[in-house]
Structure 1
């Protein structure tokens, strides 16, 4: 038995005997990686950090920006200066005051090599989110100013993500590299104990500036196996589980458990090496998109936990274009396109598949289904499986260096802004070591992305990104597959739980309790 699964089972067995109404036990997909929010790239850790830390602003239920640690803000007419007024009296969990110095430090340590906290990185998303920032400075104890190099309509969205959490400078500098094992924020909860690979326990923060959380403790237990999460919920050793196996959902519902599902800003696709034949031919890429039955995959493999995708942006995102080519399942058309491309008998290729991974939705089963569909048009797909870490290292190096043909991948847009999907994944400025692993390049798409970032009017931004969606859909740089839904199952005695309609992939449990 996997040692991490054994640890999780022992942890839940212990917890099951000691459950109390004042605590919530959550079974999540993998253990947290770091309690320093500026270091984190995975959603599992973000579930924890969203309860330990606050950001300056937060996303409201309609996608608007609402006060958090900042009570108000203003932008200069030229779009280059943002000034934030901080919440008076806010404190970190240990009682230290949360002031302008803390805000400046939290960003400056990620951007400024001369900041004493910079050496305790790396901070992988700093340039990604704050590349447009030229300076962060304190005006007074309650006021902070951000100066941008150029207008950036995605900037406010960047400030709402866990990476932008405000950390306690005194603790971060005193702990150095070990700060990642402890953290220090101002959120509704603070760390009580973390047994790596086992329980991570948060306790209510008595110094929290907002409404006190309904549960005294949150206990996160990693459960790597999808099926184990459903078993743990049914046995009563956990109260809530994230993404149980899709095939278990009907049984959980019939057993009296609640299941919440919400579509969010997610895309699951097959990446293609556009520098390598035959994927450098648009006809071939379009043929692959016609060859798969997305509806059958989302219903038969994912049991309704996804919706078919034919563009990078999800339907709930600004810039989604409902009028693009839907690539309806049409194997005959796919064969015709292959013939036009000079490949009437198809070709042989390799598909890289991870055995697991954040947001990857049953990757082995999905890969097998896509292999079968492509086989029907003469494309022989050899599947190569590997662990998530090795897989990511190959994708990160880029398709050319790793000599890749095709690979599975997914992306969750936690800021819920189109710029944070398109710019990293499809801009020619993001070639490896950026996230554009397949080397897609379209000068007009690049131009539209730049325009979209600089345009302040949301309606005009939507039109710009819709034009980009039409071009990307036509170019078919990916084999588009589906947009995932977040799925959370929980015991019927859990009250107050809902999934955020705008950003459902990060749990919010402060108002949740057991009756």
Structure 2
């Protein structure tokens, strides 16, 4: 997409000069997929939906939960009942009341096959986030009660993610499958127009219960090629771009553009098929981790937009253990471990690499760099590239069924809770069709995961998950590579831009404007 195409996209919807002065044009990585928050799995769409919808609570900068639609809440002593009181006089963007019925519907339609909204799914994250919910019911017009099957310390975090957004029941039921094209929420913005594959325009919600947004309109323009995002910013066709190519950052800075950059709850790794040799041997897996120079990759390939990783949890997450084995770059030690494992001459393997993908951080360049490092210890890596959709279908079937060796993958934790990283990715309960593609299993780690989810005290949870990090770091079920940073480049005239200190990967632009 060149600057002329971008200009045409922006010109497709006319604006008055007054409105043009109060709109913010955002270049993001791909077009949104659905305006129904319960259906969404990709980060690009979450950027948009975070402005159209509200959740009951949000995660604050100090890690505590803060009110959004709920004014207060309480948990029973046994940890099984959560009761939320809504703020008074809440309304959806179209004027319909936002009450307890709407909250119940928003969750019940995802969990209850008898709910009339269930048939308009699928809702892929329902069991993932709300599997511990036994029931959700209206107590009165402003009060909602959730009953859990067992104590779950990650439950509040689950309520803070876009999947937990409260939707307008009338609009959802009346529109059915087409609700995904229009949406219906209570956030600071509402949909004005969406040209699929082109620009998506949000306008301010006059009925918004909170502080009014600073920009009258948010115009979202998909720019799939990362190299073109900097071009779009420099040409003035957009005011702000998400994740421009890392190699363009220095030039943008020297050109007077601002860069917001922050690490968040993200992990990028090479998956390994633990069901077959040589990856079923821990010494081999450790050798691969010693063979990769993470620091050089984050500096030379990612240009400082990542930090080296040796465990699933990022440094800012509860449970991150700063004292685990750093697997410092040591090709000699890697060769020695391969010899001990019975592979003194190395081996040949295949690495699956997507051509692009959400959160995948220049997958081709990353794969080529890792291929070179492993080649230095005698491991010949054949790279097999494929499009993102085909890649995901093979990964989703599981490494054993798809006969995979190694593959690139990443995970971003929107809930910012260790349970939503470890449970899906490394629990033996999450073998395919779950997300534990390589079928890692450690009974001690499983036990710690269960304890961590059930423990209410954050300090005790931190200790539990740090113990799990030690075991996972020693087992190295993956080749750990890095924790990504969110990067946003923007015009120097743009004001109010700041990344969320806890969850920087989802943009919050209500206070951002260009005079």
Measured against the shorter chain, the TM-score band is over 0.9
d(CA) in 1 for partners of 2:253 and 2:443?
A: 49
2:389 maps to 389
d(CA) in 1 for partners of 2:11 and 2:345?
A: 56
**SS of 1:234's equivalent?**
helix
1:371 maps to 371
**SS of 1:186's equivalent?**
coil
Q: CA deviation at 1:13?
A: 6.0
Q: How does 1:411-450 map to 2 (within 5 A)?
A: 411-450=411-450
Q: How does 1:83-232 map to 2 (within 5 A)?
A: 83-232=83-232
d(CA) in 2 for partners of 1:451 and 1:79?
A: 14
d(CA) in 1 for partners of 2:421 and 2:314?
A: 10
1:79 maps to 79
* Preserved contact between residue 188 and residue 208 of structure 2 (Cα < 8 Å): yes
* Preserved contact between residue 8 and residue 222 of structure 1 (Cα < 8 Å): no
* Preserved contact between residue 6 and residue 232 of structure 2 (Cα < 8 Å): no
d(CA) in 1 for partners of 2:400 and 2:215?
A: 50
Please identify, of 253-262 and 14-23, the stretch whose mean Cα deviation from structure 2 is larger: 14-23
Residue deviations 1:298-341, cap 9 Å, x none? 00000000000000000000000001000000000000000000
Residue deviations 1:276-307, cap 9 Å, x none? 11000000000000001000000000000000
2:9 maps to 11
d(CA) in 1 for partners of 2:247 and 2:10?
A: 22
d(CA) in 1 for partners of 2:326 and 2:83?
A: 43
d(CA) in 1 for partners of 2:448 and 2:39?
A: 30
**SS of 1:48's equivalent?**
helix
Residue deviations 1:481-510, cap 9 Å, x none? 000000000000100000011000000000
* Preserved contact between residue 335 and residue 377 of structure 2 (Cα < 8 Å): yes
Q: CA deviation at 1:17?
A: 9.5
Q: CA deviation at 1:64?
A: 1.1
2:502 maps to 502
Query: Per the alignment, do residues 15 and 338 of structure 1 end up closer, same or farther by CA in structure 2, a change over 3 Å counting?
Result: farther
**SS of 1:96's equivalent?**
coil
Q: Structure 2 stretches of 5 or more lacking a match?
A: none
Residue deviations 1:431-454, cap 9 Å, x none? 000000000000000000000000
Q: CA deviation at 1:14?
A: 5.5
* Preserved contact between residue 6 and residue 237 of structure 2 (Cα < 8 Å): no
Residue deviations 1:407-463, cap 9 Å, x none? 000000011000000000000000000000000000000000000000000000000
d(CA) in 2 for partners of 1:253 and 1:285?
A: 39
d(CA) in 2 for partners of 1:261 and 1:18?
A: 33
Residue deviations 1:1-48, cap 9 Å, x none? 79xx98656314667997722100000000000000000000000000
2:23 maps to 23
For the aligned residue pairs, the C-alpha RMSD in angstroms reads: 1.3
* Preserved contact between residue 346 and residue 379 of structure 2 (Cα < 8 Å): yes
1:305 maps to 305
d(CA) in 1 for partners of 2:426 and 2:297?
A: 25
1:270 maps to 270
Residue deviations 1:203-243, cap 9 Å, x none? 00001000110000000000000011000000000000000
2:327 maps to 327
1:280 maps to 280
Query: Per the alignment, do residues 149 and 17 of structure 1 end up closer, same or farther by CA in structure 2, a change over 3 Å counting?
Result: closer
Provide TM-score, normalisation by structure 1: 0.98
Provide TM-score, normalisation by structure 2: 0.98
d(CA) in 2 for partners of 1:57 and 1:419?
A: 18
1:314 maps to 314
* Preserved contact between residue 317 and residue 417 of structure 2 (Cα < 8 Å): yes
* Preserved contact between residue 351 and residue 381 of structure 1 (Cα < 8 Å): yes
Residue deviations 1:86-137, cap 9 Å, x none? 0110100000000000000000000000000000000000000000000000
d(CA) in 2 for partners of 1:7 and 1:273?
A: 43
**SS of 1:173's equivalent?**
helix
d(CA) in 2 for partners of 1:99 and 1:85?
A: 10
d(CA) in 1 for partners of 2:377 and 2:388?
A: 30
**SS of 1:58's equivalent?**
strand
d(CA) in 2 for partners of 1:98 and 1:417?
A: 28
d(CA) in 1 for partners of 2:12 and 2:486?
A: 28
**SS of 2:481's equivalent?**
strand
* Preserved contact between residue 448 and residue 464 of structure 2 (Cα < 8 Å): yes
1:53 maps to 53
d(CA) in 1 for partners of 2:11 and 2:307?
A: 36
Residue deviations 1:340-391, cap 9 Å, x none? 0000000000000000011000000000000000000000000000111111
d(CA) in 2 for partners of 1:450 and 1:49?
A: 32
Q: Does 1:482 align with 2:482?
A: yes
Query: Per the alignment, do residues 366 and 16 of structure 1 end up closer, same or farther by CA in structure 2, a change over 3 Å counting?
Result: farther
Query: Per the alignment, do residues 15 and 234 of structure 1 end up closer, same or farther by CA in structure 2, a change over 3 Å counting?
Result: farther
d(CA) in 2 for partners of 1:6 and 1:323?
A: 51
Query: Per the alignment, do residues 6 and 135 of structure 1 end up closer, same or farther by CA in structure 2, a change over 3 Å counting?
Result: farther
* Preserved contact between residue 324 and residue 470 of structure 1 (Cα < 8 Å): yes
Number of equivalent positions: 513
* Preserved contact between residue 7 and residue 237 of structure 2 (Cα < 8 Å): no
